[in-house]
Chains A and B, each alone.
Chain A
């Protein structure tokens, strides 16, 4: 009769325990390596994603600014989005000294930016650009020497871009403000004759 304390059985048990221990260690190392590799990959993708969302957001704002200028120059509504005529809107806001008529979730679709960035990163999602009038005033003083135009106000454009990564998705809102100028006689503003200038340089970029 054999018992558990006999050497042959103890060898078998010890071997099984050792094998199980080794398998456990191997599994732990495998998981650790997998998680390390996966974590590094995700971190790297996230960095690239953030960079892409910022690039796409800035480009979307540039495109929106270009659309806005065209609408100001030609006094025609922008295609898509909320289809606003920005010349009329800004004229009214400056004349009435009241921006409340403008700031109603007015949107411009960045169609070209979407085409360009989706050809590189198909799952990148770019929302419409939201335009707000931050401040405006109607100039009542003559222009300073050498300055034919008056700063009339500040327009803010913001856009939210969603990154390509599905897990822990990157979502960044890019916000820029620009001065717009007005070429008109002090105290007089005719929407038909006023010429607006929207500066290419922003007052800074905020990334939220």
Chain B
């Protein structure tokens, strides 16, 4: 009897089949999670690019000496508020950068309906203006489209006049 037990294999075919089935089932959540993480990375990449563009607008035009006024037009009925839609259209060379790591403005506009509005509110105080960059885009996670919004603001300090 003892001799018979020693010669028996450690696992029977049924045991092995169960083990293989369970291990295979383990791969299902792995695949799902991998896909989920890729989706998250893809959405975050668009958001980061959009944030970068919005922030760069403030960096580019956030000083009193910058020439932002060349690109803005007054809003009817509110002369202290100047605005421009899709300001990046004036700087195609800059924003069409499709180098590694960049989506490029064309992809953002065509695939994600990227929109931008830059506003300059003058006379907040005597020598202070408020520059605001608002952007919107559409993110699609698992075929569900959602409009996202983002806004950056910065005060601009002008020369000290008396």
Contacts and interface: CB of A to CB of B under 8 A. Distances in A.
Nearest to B121: A116
Contact of A11 (B15, B22, B25, B127): B15
B62 to A, nearest CB: 9
Nearest to B129: A62
B152 interface: yes
A22 B157 CA distance: 63
B127 A66 contact: yes
B160 A198 contact: yes
Interface string B22-43: 1101100110010011001000
B51 interface: yes
Nearest to B134: A120
B109 interface: no
Interface in A94-129: 112-113, 116-117, 120
Given A11-B15, A120-B153, A26 B64 contact: no
Contacts, number: 91
A42 to B, nearest CB: 13
B30 to A, nearest CB: 6
Interface in B24-83: 25-26, 29-30, 33, 36-37, 40, 44, 48, 51, 55, 58, 64
Interface stretch (B4-12, B84-92, B93-101, B139-147): B4-12
A58 interface: yes
B151 interface: yes
B37 A36 contact: yes
A33 interface: yes
Nearest to B28: A26
Interface string B124-162: 111110100000000000000000000111111111101
Given A14-B11, A19-B22, A40-B44, 4 more contacts: A18-B22, A63-B125, A112-B128, A200-B160
Contacts of B30: 29
A55 to B, nearest CB: 6
Nearest to B132: A116
Interface in A60-102: 62-63, 65-67, 69-70, 73
27 contacts: A5-B5, A11-B12, A11-B14, A11-B15, A15-B15, A18-B18, A18-B19, A18-B22, A29-B26, A29-B33, A30-B29, A37-B37, A37-B40, A40-B40, A44-B44, A44-B48, A55-B58, A55-B152, A55-B154, A69-B126, A70-B125, A112-B155, A113-B155, A116-B130, A116-B155, A195-B162, A198-B160
B39 to A, nearest CB: 11
A153 to B, nearest CB: 15
B126 A70 contact: yes
Nearest to B22: A22
A22 B103 CA distance: 41
Contact of B151 (A7, A29, A66, A120): A120
B160 A59 contact: no
A137 to B, nearest CB: 20
Top-9 shortest CB links A-B: A62-B155, A59-B155, A62-B157, A200-B157, A66-B128, A33-B33, A22-B22, A197-B160, A66-B125
B12 A7 contact: yes
Contacts of A48: 51
